[in-house]
């Protein structure tokens, strides 16, 4: 009845569709045929490490790791398990198999020798190849190293309504050798008053099969259903298997993912265990002395309203993990118990949320491996809310192909505030099934794609109505001479478009073409086009957007890299926004959303002054219908 009413209301404005068609033809001519005519005149290239979209939120240190691995690839012959696990797409099982291979006094003479490792095929080898290298001998002694980094940035014109200065500053320092890691960091966002608005300090000691960390640390356990850290587990990466068991110092500027206290781990031949405690203040929304919402979101403390939320609740947490097994079968169980110093009493008229002063979680994690097959699952139960969550995955690697499937079921009452499992929106109130395929065909033709269907039956904080939908993705790349062509199509349907109290179905389709060309060993050029169509059938609402990006990278002199890029974009509204990853100073990389009409231009310089000192600089101008900003960034790093 509602759909018929909408149809009748909109019947007089049928000519709008013809207008949209004319606009569509205009956009295709200006933004599609023109780029293609340019592309056909160039050698073909185009490859992307990751398709980062707007829903992907990664800490800067994760993206910084990618940059450093490209600059200093890991030597497979001397790498430890902890080093191997840093490489994107390397699972805990593959890391163990590679380390076991080298421990048997065997050496890899070429990266293709990695194909001798069970579960590692050619498509996977191509994905990890930028991050690895092969040296003929092992490095037996590793000297201690001091690392230090400072990044300063400013955006102008300055925004009004804040009392702090517009500078954004981050500082990190770390000493590391084979047994001990000492360090700390301090962060200040723009317009925050203190240069130590968020800081970390840590001391991590490792020897043989045991370790202890004091201070700020991160946990990445199981499939991240209870405890996790944001990483590469998202749809378009094709990585659906978490790293299982990892304790490490916390160096990210994301404020609410860390623990502050102590963690101890011990490993035996077939068993491992860990116990950890944390006592930390977290942000919260408090109204009339009542805690309404605990936030794990922005971490900004610029205005009086934001400052009022800072460190309002003390969270005390204790937990442990015990597990065991071998390469074929591993089983572990994790339990945590946490208590707040204030009672949480949210307004739950539209959204069920945890209430009370304490919560506890217990979960079981199981992994089974064969040569080219992996099965894993994790199930957890929240004692306070009586909610359950579960995840079940399988991955197989037949010749030159990888197939992964994942089923998830997170109950409405499942409360796990530090979970980072695979999901569409959040690890709660969601069911879904995901399948990913990556394959290398003849003549080095690579294809990959995924299909994800999801359902959120109950109201959420952002949408008081149930939502469901699906998302599909298909990409291909082909190398020809010194270039590659990359093509990507993405379609998403979801009934979450709000209109007069209803949730209507919308369709979003993206098509991306990119060509990167190695002009010579020191010069690279990229051209990228992306178009989007956003459509709400019940409203006959159709919006379009287009984006063209050109970038050039060159090694001016030895150890000095120059990069420049410009982005032109035109979209009809925020609904037809386009996401694009913009290269930046290491540790400051991000994915931008472009909407409206305008351009973005940047110049980036990276150089090595001394053997260990690196300097960075970036100038960026962004202009659209609403703003014209200038951004300046400077960084220095010793490593």
257 part of a folded domain? yes
CA–CA separation, 72 vs 70, rounded Å? 6
High-pLDDT (> 70) share of the chain, %: 82
- Report d(CA 43, CA 18) in Å as an integer: 38
Is there a domain that residue 480 lies in?
Answer: no
Question: 389 and 253: one domain?
Answer: yes
Sequence-ordered strand ranges (E) for 268-372: 271-282, 284-287, 290-294, 313-325, 329-344, 356-369
CATH code at 88? Answer: 1.10.150.320
| CA separation for the pair 537, 524 (Å, rounded) | 42
pTM of the model: 0.81
Asked if the structure places residue 233 within a domain, the reply is yes
Residue 468 CB neighbour total at 10 angstroms: 18
- Same structural domain for residues 114 and 217? no
Q: Residue 445 pLDDT > 60, yes or no?
A: yes
For 412, the domain range is 206-429
Among 396, 429, 462, give the residue marking a domain's end: 429
For 168-216, write each residue's pLDDT tens digit: 999 999 998 878 999 999 999 889 888 888 999 999 998 888 899 999 9
Read off the pLDDT of each residue in 31-37 and give the average, rounded to a whole number.
41
Domain count within the chain:
2
Q: Are residues 114 and 214 in the same domain?
A: no
Q: Tell me what pLDDT residue 210 has.
A: 87
Nearest Cα neighbor of 450 from 437, 440, 439 is 437
Q: What would the mean pLDDT of 465-473 be, rounded to a whole number? A: 88
At 233, the pLDDT band (50, 70, 90 cuts) reads low
Same domain assignment for residues 253 and 126: no
234's tokens: 């998202």
* 409-418 mean pLDDT: 90
Q: Return the pLDDT at 311.
A: 75
| 468 located within any domain | no
**Residue 233 CA: distances (Å) to CA of 238, 449, 589:** 8, 15, 18
- Average pLDDT value for residue range 147-160: 89
pLDDT at 515 over 90: yes
DSSP-based helix, strand, coil % in the chain, nearest 5: 15, 50, 35
Please give, one letter per residue, the 3-state secondary structure of 192-246.
Answer: CCCCCCEEEEEEEEEECCEEEEEEEEEEEEECCCCCCCCCCCCHHHCCCCCCEEE
Residue that finishes a domain, picked among 406, 429, 452: 429
- Residue after which a domain boundary falls, among 133, 154, 175: 133
Pair 243, 390 in one domain: yes
Any domain includes 403: yes
Mean pLDDT of 459-487: 84
Regarding whether 420 and 271 lie in a shared domain, the answer is: yes
Q: Is residue 567 part of a domain?
A: no
Q: Does pLDDT of 91 surpass 90?
A: no
Residues 124, 214: one domain?
no
d(CA 510, CA 579): 10
By the 8 A CB rule, do 147 and 176 touch? Answer: yes
Residues 358 and 221 in one domain: yes
Mean pLDDT of 389-410: 90
Determine the pLDDT at residue 120: 78
Compute the C-alpha angle 266/268/270, nearest 5°: 130
Residue 412 forms part of a structural domain: yes
Q: Domain check: are 353 and 267 in the same one?
A: yes
305 and 420 both lie in a single domain: yes
Are residue 316 and residue 220 in the same domain, yes or no? yes
Confidence of residue 57 (pLDDT cuts 50, 70, 90): very low
Whether 25 maps to a domain, the answer reads no
120 and 234 part of one domain = no
* Interatomic CA distance for residues 392 and 410, integer angstroms: 12
Question: What pLDDT shows up at residue 62?
Answer: 64
Determine the pLDDT at residue 558: 82
CA atoms lying within 13 Å on the CB side of residue 51: 26
State how far the Cα of 263 lies from the Cα of 277, in Å rounded to an integer. Answer: 6
* Torsions phi, psi for 467 (to 5 deg): -135, 150
Compute the average pLDDT of residues 424-436.
Answer: 89
């Amino acid at each position: 009845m509602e759909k018929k009413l909408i149809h009748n209301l909109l019947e007089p404005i049928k000519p709008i569709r013809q207008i949209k068609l004319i606009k569509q033809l205009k956009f295709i001519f200006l933004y599609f045929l023109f780029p293609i005519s340019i592309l056909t005149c160039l050698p073909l290239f185009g490859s992307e490490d990751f398709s980062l979209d707007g829903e992907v939120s990664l800490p800067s240190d994760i993206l910084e790791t990618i940059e450093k691995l490209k600059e200093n690839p890991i030597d497979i012959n001397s790498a430890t398990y902890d080093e191997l696990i840093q490489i994107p797409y390397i699972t805990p099982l593959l890391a163990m198999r590679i380390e076991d291979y080298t421990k048997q006094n065997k050496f890899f003479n070429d990266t293709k020798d990695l194909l001798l490792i069970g579960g590692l095929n050619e498509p996977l080898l191509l994905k990890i190849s930028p991050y690895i290298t092969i040296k003929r001998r092992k490095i037996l002694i590793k000297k201690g190293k001091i690392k230090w980094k400072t990044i300063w940035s400013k955006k102008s014109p300055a925004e009004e309504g804040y009392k702090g200065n517009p500078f954004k500053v981050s500082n990190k320092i770390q000493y590391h050798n084979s047994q001990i890691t000492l360090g700390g960091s301090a962060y200040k966002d723009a317009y925050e008053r203190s240069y130590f608005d968020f800081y970390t300090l840590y001391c991590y000691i490792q020897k043989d099969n045991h370790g202890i960390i004091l201070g700020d640390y991160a946990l990445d356990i199981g499939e991240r259903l209870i405890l996790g850290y944001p990483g590469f587990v998202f749809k378009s990466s094709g990585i659906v298997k978490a790293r299982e068991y990892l304790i490490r110092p916390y160096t990210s500027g994301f404020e609410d993912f860390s623990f502050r206290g102590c963690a101890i781990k011990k490993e035996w031949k077939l068993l491992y265990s860990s116990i950890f405690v944390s006592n930390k203040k977290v942000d919260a929304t408090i109204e009339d002395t009542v805690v309404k919402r605990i936030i794990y979101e922005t971490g900004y403390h610029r205005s009086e309203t934001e400052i009022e939320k800072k460190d309002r609740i003390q969270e005390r947490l204790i937990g442990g993990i015990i597990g065991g097994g071998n390469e074929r079968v591993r089983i572990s169980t994790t339990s945590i118990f946490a208590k707040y110093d204030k009672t949480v009493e949210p307004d739950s008229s539209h959204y069920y949320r945890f209430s009370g002063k304490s919560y506890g979680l217990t979960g079981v994690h199981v992994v089974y491996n064969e040569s080219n097959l992996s099965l894993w699952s994790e199930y957890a139960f929240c004692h306070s809310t009586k909610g359950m969550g579960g995840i079940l995955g399988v991955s197989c690697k037949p010749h030159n192909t990888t197939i992964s499937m994942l089923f998830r079921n997170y109950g409405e009452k499942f409360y796990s505030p530090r979970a980072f499992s695979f999901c569409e929106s959040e690890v709660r109130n969601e069911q879904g099934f995901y399948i990913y395929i990556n394959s290398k065909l003849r003549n080095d033709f690579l294809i990959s794609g995924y299909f994800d269907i999801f359902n959120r039956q109950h109201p959420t904080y952002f949408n008081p109505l149930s939502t469901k939908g699906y998302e599909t993705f298909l990409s291909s790349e082909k190398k020809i001479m010194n270039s590659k062509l990359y093509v990507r199509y993405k379609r998403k349907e979801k009934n979450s478009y709000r209109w007069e109290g209803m949730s209507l179905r919308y369709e979003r389709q993206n098509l991306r073409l990119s060509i990167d060309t190695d002009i010579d060993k020191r010069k690279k050029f990229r051209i990228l086009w992306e178009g989007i169509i956003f459509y709400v059938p019940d409203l006959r609402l159709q919006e379009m957007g287009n984006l063209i990006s050109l970038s050039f990278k060159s090694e001016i002199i030895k150890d000095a890299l120059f990069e420049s890029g410009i982005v032109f974009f035109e979209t009809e509204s925020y609904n037809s926004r386009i996401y694009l990853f913009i290269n930046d100073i290491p540790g400051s990389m991000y994915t931008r959303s472009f909407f409206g009409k305008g351009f973005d231009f940047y110049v980036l310089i990276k150089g090595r002054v001394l053997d260990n000192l690196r300097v960075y600089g970036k100038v960026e101008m962004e202009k659209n219908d609403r703003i014209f900003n200038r951004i300046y960034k400077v960084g220095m790093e010793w490593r």
